[in-house]
Amino acid sequence: MAELPEVRIGTAEREHAMRRLSDNFAAGRLSVAEFDERSAIVAAAVTRGDVAQVFSDLPPEPLSAADAPAERERRFLSQWPERIMAVIPIVALILFFTTGSWLWFLAIPLSAALLFGGRHDRREDR
């Protein structure tokens, strides 16, 4: 059955509409004034029809909204060497105080060479 425009909406639907509106704004489909005007309409929306009028001239779902979870996961996994590298100096310091040997500090440049040694084009990837 098709969605009826006179069906009342709740907070979850308004938040979803605001996210879609923000994604369209981020994609450059809306100016600041249009975004402000449309977000006010979404905030005051009572029915599905009120929200539908805001998106009448916009694509059904912006591509960035559909790709956002995958992009977030890919970004998290691509940063694991940086996360490990941030912990290694702390571990070396703890091992220095527990064992009394300064050689643990050699793990810092060694791990950097192992984790980042083959990536000379790192800045171009970002």
- Are 52 and 5 contacting, i.e. CB atoms less than 8 angstroms apart? yes
Q: How far apart are CA 73 and CA 1, in angstroms?
A: 35
Residue 92: closest CA among 110, 113, 106: 106
CA distances from 84 to 55, 59, 71 (A): 44, 41, 21
- Both tokens of 91, joined, read 């571990």
Q: In DSSP terms, which residues pair with 8 in a beta bridge?
A: 47
Q: Which residue has the higher pLDDT, 20 or 125?
A: 20
Per-residue pLDDT of 58-117, as tens digits, reads 888 754 444 555 666 666 667 788 888 889 999 999 999 999 999 999 999 998 888 888
Residue ranges per structural domain of the chain? 11-68, 79-125
Q: How far apart are CA 28 and CA 96, in angstroms?
A: 53
Residue type, 3: E
% of the chain beyond a pLDDT of 90? 35
